[in-house]
Amino acid sequence: MKTGLVLEGGGMRGLYTVGVLDCFLDRGFMADYVVGVSAGACNGASYVSKQRGRGRRVNLDYLDDKRYLSLYSFLKTKSVFGMDFLFDEIPNQLEPFDYQTFFENPTEFWVGVTDIHTGKPVYFDKSHCDHDCTVLRASSSIPVFSPVVAYQGGEYLDGGSSDPIPIEKALADGCDRLIVVRTRDRSYQKKPESFHAVYGHVFRHAPAMRAVLEHRHERYNQTLEKLSQLEKEGVASVIAPREPVTISRFEKSRQKLDALYKDGMADGQIFLHSIGWKG
């Protein structure tokens, strides 16, 4: 039985995922396979490197640093999240990423991105993360709010735009059992984007990317239907916030974010109890 962990993105809503994953590490639960997009990929990397608490520190300890998440960062770098700070200074200096443990861990790890010229999801395995955070940066680059990321001849943006909850990828890679960590409650349905004019202008030379954004809500809601069916079939288990998550992907309230983290920890415990995990 190959167990796959599928991690949704959502910016700062990913503190919920961090709580679930820290619970898993506390209890010694390691999946055979991890695939994530955007914040899900970033938090999943710290899980595979077994750095309990790293995701929480990265997300909370630098909230007041203007290089992390601010208008200053957007005006200076064209990204609301400071990408150089997040994907260079933090992993290499402030919160060193444990590459040795990451690669020694037999758990498969995949990062999803969106090709802006085809509008299709593209996935990179852990070999692309060898002292290089470029694919994680690309997966986390929110359209309009972050610049396009070039990598190995391609141009990429947020993986959640084209494949918001990559369950099909996990199944295609041979996972028999899925654990899906969402950052929205079960009742959530995505609505159409409200920035059509902005997307149309920014991606006027990338029509495939523009189409992805215009139809993103349809893909998201279709994925939820598929996920619901997989639950009924006993293939997937979903861990999701029990109440609607009202914070945005750019939330800066430490109190709200820490509460969401604790919710994730609690729900992780409930899930492990439900499967009889003894670790």
Helix (H) or strand (E) holding 7: strand 3-7
Q: Is residue 252 packed enough to be buried (19+ CB in 10 Å), middle (13-18) or exposed (0-12)?
A: middle
Is 210's pLDDT higher than 80?
yes
Mean pLDDT computed over every residue of the chain? 94
Residue 183's pLDDT is what?
98
Q: What's the rounded mean pLDDT across residues 9-26?
A: 97
C-alpha dist (Å) from residue 113 to 123, 235, 264: 6, 25, 25
State the pLDDT confidence band at 147, using cuts at 50, 70 and 90: very high
Question: Do strands 177-181 and 236-239 pair parallel, antiparallel, or not at all (unpaired)?
Answer: parallel
Q: What's the rounded mean pLDDT across residues 200-227?
A: 94
Share of the chain above pLDDT 90, in %: 84
Residue 155's pLDDT is what?
98
State the pLDDT confidence band at 190, using cuts at 50, 70 and 90: very high
Report how far residue 92's alpha carbon sits from residue 201's, in angstroms, rounded to the nearest whole number.
36
Residue 164's pLDDT is what?
97
Is 73's pLDDT higher than 80?
no
Per-residue pLDDT of 238-247, as tens digits, reads 999 999 999 9
Which H, E and C letters describe 102-161, residue by residue? HHHCCCEEEEEEEECCCCCEEEEEHHHHCCCCHHHHHHCCCECCECCEEECCEEEEEHHH
Per-residue pLDDT of 104-127, as tens digits, reads 999 999 999 999 999 999 999 999
Report how far residue 105's alpha carbon sits from residue 84's, in angstroms, rounded to the nearest whole number.
27
Residue 101's pLDDT is what?
98
Range from 8-17, 70-79, 123-132 carrying the lowest mean pLDDT: 70-79
Range from 99-108, 153-162, 225-234, 249-258 carrying the lowest mean pLDDT: 249-258
Tell me how many helices (H) and strands (E) the chain has: 13, 8
76-112 burial, b if ≥16 CB within 10 A, otherwise e? Answer: ebebbbbbebbbebbbeeebebbeeebeebebbbbbb
